[in-house]
Structure 1
Amino acid sequence: MIQAKLIPSLDKCFPGTDIAGLSAIEEISVLRGERLSLQLAYRGKDPTKPRREWYTPRVSGRLAEYARLRLVDFVPSLMPAYPDRVDDNYLSTEPGLYPDLLSELPMRGMVPVLSFQTRCLWITIEIPDDLPGGTYELEVGLYSGDTAAATATARVMVIPARLPEGKMYVTQWLHCDCLADYYSVGIFSERHWGIIENFVRTAVANGINTLLTPVFTPPLDTAVGGERPTVQLVGVRVDGGEYSFDYTKLDRWLDMCGRTGIKYFEISHLFTQWGAAHAPKIVATVDGVEKRIFGWDTEAAGPEYTRFLRTFIPDFLEHMKSRGLDKRCIFHISDEPRLEHLEQYAKSRAVVADLLDGYTVADALSSFEFWGRGIVSTPIPSNNHIEPFLKAKVPGLWTYYCCSQGVDVSNRFFAMPGARTRAIGMQFYKYDIAGFLQWGYNFYFNQFSCDRVNPYLDSTGGYFVPSGDAYSVYPSHDGRALESMRIVHFFEALQDRRAMDLCGQYYGKERVVAEMERIIGEIKFSKCPGRSEELLAVRERINQLISEAVGG
């Protein structure tokens, strides 16, 4: 006997989860152009059966042709959270196996059923833009030959309104060196370019529209005095003391972005992380010899690096203008400067401030002083330090989270409920958040990028960060990015925000927020639901309002 139940995508089932305690999905609504994700939780219950049997999953009904099936796999976590930065809204803080990886079905499209162990089949349905509105029966079953061993059904109501495009900047940092290292390929070899494009396509499919563009090797997560592998899209020559630049690799990158759907280019930081005190690593051909010309031994605002930047930036902008892309660039000074770095940050910024006038210059930081004193025009505060920026009504405000945001706020750790990850969509909408940044799309190194990490075995980067912070996709054996539950939960948050935008077109934002808060209480960054039912009830109300507005 197999016990099976259709459940929300937000629920995380462990091997010992009791399916009887899970809330089944009986009906769910969706907009045209939306991606719907569900799970079939199943569990072998017959002690007379072998320890493992293989069954073929099948989807039946009108929506079956739009469905994709995967298996939810478990990944070990030796540090689900920092012990001193937790709250009550975690599934567990104990080391163990956590559901996260969405794997292709093994055994030529089958799933394993084990006695007394709960597993989940992941169902993704891409709703076409032109699908007629109405209610569709969806059946998911596990079959042995033509015999159904278990089935579960739900009704999917398609609302005849199209989910609009997103309006936010969304970035999760792509680490090209991690891909070259993991797959043991040369940097910017043909194989490397192919892998990069595969990973970018998956990023775009999950709502990422802004890509960290390494014009020079990004000075991120690097030990002071250390180096990451050189990932530099702009060629630099120094002949007789004069600089010139080659944009061949950059143009290939921009062409790739055009093919894959990337809209904005996040130019790698012009100064080092955590203080803006030095130059990033920059390699050049000097009088015919390739060598490093700037790095940790270079003073950020020193005369030679200043001369370099004041030569490079105008040249770079002219090149981007020639492609019609300059206004789609976002520039960074330094990542995560603290208050004690304010004077140094201001000094470094002054080197390029006039050159970047009229362009977006944004940095992740948490001290309000940087914006209050006019040193940063587009601050990106963490979501647990955002309140002063909201009170000041900072225009075009972004937010971010990383390893430190583990109490009260939304994040994407393995150990957090899916509803907590998805809740950020409501927060984006209520507070008109213009952009979101997360530092690890595929960071497969440990702290300070000293060593490679196998993300299937070590999800913490060598006890560096809680599981889930460093990456949201896994590297497949053939150079593709495999999604995690967490990247889907975040994409669902982005879809929620887009649905709220559409609802606001009919009713106004004030009404939409009021309707949501009647269900879930006050929406604020420091409050996240832990139960899927609460969040899904909010989204169902949004869909109901849209349906009433369009007569669906």
Structure 2
Amino acid sequence: MEKFDLKIISGLEKCFIDQSIEEKKQIKRISMLANERLSFQLAFSAETPLYRRCAFKCNLELESPIREYIKLESVEQVPVKMPVYKDQNDDNYLRKEPGLYPDLLLPFVLERENNLIFVQDELRSIFVTVLCKDGIKAGEYPVKFKAVFEGRVLAEAEIVVEVIGKKTEDLSIYHTEWFYTDCLAQYYNVEVWSERHWEIIENYVKEAVDSGVNTLLTPLLTPPLDTLVGGERLTTQLVDVTLTNGKYSFNFDKVGRWIELCDRCGIKFFEINHFFTQWGAEHAPKVMADVDGEYKKIFGWETEAAGKEYTEFLHSFLDALIPYLKEKGVDKRCFYHISDEPRAEHLENYSKARAVVTEKLKGYTIIDALSNYEFYKNGVVDCPVPGSNHIVPFIENKVPGLWVYYCCSQNVEVANRFVSMPGSRIRIIGAQMYKFDIKGFLHWGFNFWNCRYSVKPVNPFLETCGEYFTPAGDCFLVYPAQDGTAYTSLHCRQFGMALEDHKAMMLCESLIGREKTLAAVEEGAEGFTFTQYPMDEEYLLSMRERINGLIKNA
């Protein structure tokens, strides 16, 4: 007997091909603010023999008064060799074994014939986005899907979307996902800073902005990140350095082009790359220069971080850079870095490195991902960005303007966005950032398509964990399309839901105050912290409906 099923489910779900559609809870109604990005999924499966074929093609049809604002993406399975750290995990993972996991989102074309493929005894889904940046008129709108074959309706599903006639403001926190121009050049096999490279960069910056990024890592010098000691990443240095007769000069033409590109795409802030090496601030990053007519490396692993030569270079560099950024009107839109993830034993080195640039960067904010409170207590970092599992002392000491980050190390108890985690664990960070008044979120991997220490590039479609570097989902948010644009991911979209939650909470606060808004957030989530929070999606769905209701009635 034929049995085709369509079911509308939460955007937080992850549909593994070996699951049953009966395991997924149907949703029949959902609300959204007029200009927010609303997400849900259309799950589909078949339990029929499909006429002795393993797959059956038919047409998916969509009927809705708001059809023009609806985008569909097919949720594709990707190979995950490393879903967790075997010795560092908890019970709040969906699966812990290697296999196929739902993550890659590919465009779904409604106009194409036979666009929907039922596979016998497999569960699959389509990711549905409703978005109109100018806002959709308030009202209730049915959204109906039909699976049709030769005029016969095989299955159908419907949801009612209530649009609340109030709009959110832009994201009020800083949000950076480290953006790697070298990975783009390597994957697409183009010359760094060639016209094609610039085109691809712009495509990916647009995708980053669409994903909620408003602060972009800017490689004035090649970023000294995830690099093997003694090794190099592909040179991606925006600033042209010339050394003639012992004197430095700088050309910022490419920096200007970068700024214009970012402004065009919607980037609001610039995160200047680190001036010293990662994990200790012991050395200078790679710096390339034209030296008396020869293009060569002048600083790198062999260079002492706070040594005389590199100090003189940095002073000359900053003396030229700051006036240029002022001229462009962006100097106050910039953040600066010393070194990434220094530990307690690196405090002395970090302090010396910071001292090199302290006077030159007076009046500007220095931020760094670090989780030892002593760095802030000793005044060597203006804006600490602790890991979410180390944030408590920073909160207890009321550090102003506090940011947060997570990466592969935040794998027990706290939120993260590994592909193996439930969508609710990804989305919860929005409510956590609201409760604790977090001002910025940093993550190291928008498009890191390298193996550990950047020894070589990897194919992200096959190596979702960077050759056993991190659990899948940590290295990158997007996959590379052949045409130089990006495919997004399920874990990216689920993180985006957290940002939409935060924007809704800020709107609610502006209407009824923080106390009432926070009470609505914490209802059913007593003792809500970065390590203790409701683990089921029902809390998040109900919480957003409460927030939306308060906004509607304000």
Q: Would you say same fold, with TM above 0.5?
A: yes
Q: Take 1:53 and 1:70, find their aligned partners in 2: how far apart are those partners?
A: 19
Q: Take 1:202 and 1:530, find their aligned partners in 2: how far apart are those partners?
A: 29
Secondary structure of residue in 2 paired with 1:361: strand
Deviation at 1:242, TM superposition (A): 0.5
Secondary structure of residue in 1 paired with 2:501: helix
Cα deviation 1:150-203 (Å, max 9, x = unaligned) = 110111110010011111110000111111111111111111111111111011
Q: Determine if the alignment matches structure 1 residue 68 to structure 2 residue 71.
A: yes
Secondary structure of residue in 1 paired with 2:157: strand
Is the Cα–Cα contact under 8 Å of residues 59 and 67 in structure 1 kept in the other structure? Answer: no
Please report the RMSD computed on the Cα atoms of aligned residues, expressed in angstroms: 1.2
Q: Match for residue 8 of structure 2?
A: 6
Q: Take 1:169 and 1:310, find their aligned partners in 2: how far apart are those partners?
A: 28
Counterpart code for 1:413: F
Q: Take 1:496 and 1:122, find their aligned partners in 2: how far apart are those partners?
A: 18
Q: Take 2:139 and 2:149, find their aligned partners in 1: how far apart are those partners?
A: 32
In percent, how many aligned pairs have the same letter?
A: 48
Shift in CA distance, 194/145, structure 1 to aligned 2, threshold 3 Å: farther
Q: Take 1:503 and 1:496, find their aligned partners in 2: how far apart are those partners?
A: 10
Q: Determine if the alignment matches structure 1 residue 426 to structure 2 residue 428.
A: no
* 1:481-496 correspondence runs (5 A): 481-496=486-501
Cα deviation 1:321-341 (Å, max 9, x = unaligned) = 001000000000000000000
| Match 1:296 to one of 292, 301, 306 | 301
| Match 1:91 to one of 72, 89, 94 | 94
Is the Cα–Cα contact under 8 Å of residues 76 and 458 in structure 1 kept in the other structure? Answer: yes
Q: Match for residue 285 of structure 1?
A: 290
Q: Take 2:412 and 2:144, find their aligned partners in 1: how far apart are those partners?
A: 39
* 1:467-486 correspondence runs (5 A): 467-486=472-491
Secondary structure of residue in 1 paired with 2:298: strand
Q: Determine if the alignment matches structure 1 residue 100 to structure 2 residue 103.
A: yes
Deviation at 1:111, TM superposition (A): 2.4
Secondary structure of residue in 2 paired with 1:345: helix
Q: Determine if the alignment matches structure 1 residue 16 to structure 2 residue 24.
A: no
Q: Take 1:3 and 1:76, find their aligned partners in 2: how far apart are those partners?
A: 26
Cα deviation 1:395-434 (Å, max 9, x = unaligned) = 0000000001011111000110001100000011111111
Deviation at 1:277, TM superposition (A): 0.7
Counterpart code for 1:386: I
| Match 2:347 to one of 342, 345, 369 | 342
Q: TM-score, normalised by structure 1?
A: 0.98
Cα deviation 1:105-144 (Å, max 9, x = unaligned) = 3794612111110110111111353422111111122222
Q: Determine if the alignment matches structure 1 residue 399 to structure 2 residue 401.
A: no
Q: Determine if the alignment matches structure 1 residue 262 to structure 2 residue 267.
A: yes
| Match 2:163 to one of 151, 155, 158 | 158
| Match 1:195 to one of 200, 208, 219 | 200
Secondary structure of residue in 2 paired with 1:350: helix
Q: TM-score, normalised by structure 2?
A: 0.97
Counterpart code for 2:422: P
Is the Cα–Cα contact under 8 Å of residues 38 and 123 in structure 1 kept in the other structure? Answer: yes
Q: Match for residue 133 of structure 1?
A: 138
Deviation at 1:94, TM superposition (A): 0.8
Deviation at 1:19, TM superposition (A): 1.1
Is the Cα–Cα contact under 8 Å of residues 9 and 24 in structure 2 kept in the other structure? Answer: yes
Deviation at 1:511, TM superposition (A): 1.5
Shift in CA distance, 145/163, structure 1 to aligned 2, threshold 3 Å: farther
Q: Take 1:486 and 1:285, find their aligned partners in 2: how far apart are those partners?
A: 43
Q: Match for residue 309 of structure 1?
A: 314
Cα deviation 1:249-290 (Å, max 9, x = unaligned) = 111111100110001000000000001111000000011111
Q: Match for residue 381 of structure 1?
A: 386
| Match 2:56 to one of 53, 57, 78 | 53
Q: Take 1:128 and 1:388, find their aligned partners in 2: how far apart are those partners?
A: 39
Q: Take 1:178 and 1:390, find their aligned partners in 2: how far apart are those partners?
A: 35
Which moves more between the two structures, 58-67 or 385-394? 58-67
Shift in CA distance, 48/229, structure 1 to aligned 2, threshold 3 Å: closer
Secondary structure of residue in 2 paired with 1:268: strand
Q: Determine if the alignment matches structure 1 residue 25 to structure 2 residue 27.
A: yes
Deviation at 1:48, TM superposition (A): 4.3
Counterpart code for 2:70: A
Unaligned runs of 5+ in 2: none
Q: Take 2:318 and 2:378, find their aligned partners in 1: how far apart are those partners?
A: 25
Q: Take 2:123 and 2:481, find their aligned partners in 1: how far apart are those partners?
A: 24
Which moves more between the two structures, 182-191 or 42-51? 42-51
Q: Match for residue 549 of structure 2?
A: 544
Cα deviation 1:303-332 (Å, max 9, x = unaligned) = 111011111112101000001000000000
Secondary structure of residue in 2 paired with 1:82: coil
Q: Take 1:361 and 1:72, find their aligned partners in 2: how far apart are those partners?
A: 39
Q: Match for residue 325 of structure 1?
A: 330
Unaligned runs of 5+ in 1: none
* 1:239-278 correspondence runs (5 A): 239-278=244-283
Counterpart code for 2:262: C
Q: Match for residue 36 of structure 1?
A: 38
Q: Take 1:141 and 1:374, find their aligned partners in 2: how far apart are those partners?
A: 61
Cα deviation 1:24-83 (Å, max 9, x = unaligned) = 111100001111111110001111432111222222111111111111000111110111
Cα deviation 1:207-249 (Å, max 9, x = unaligned) = 1001000000000000111000100000000111110000111
Q: Match for residue 367 of structure 1?
A: 372
Q: Take 1:184 and 1:127, find their aligned partners in 2: how far apart are those partners?
A: 35
| Match 2:80 to one of 77, 80, 87 | 77
Which moves more between the two structures, 525-534 or 201-210? 525-534
Counterpart code for 2:395: L
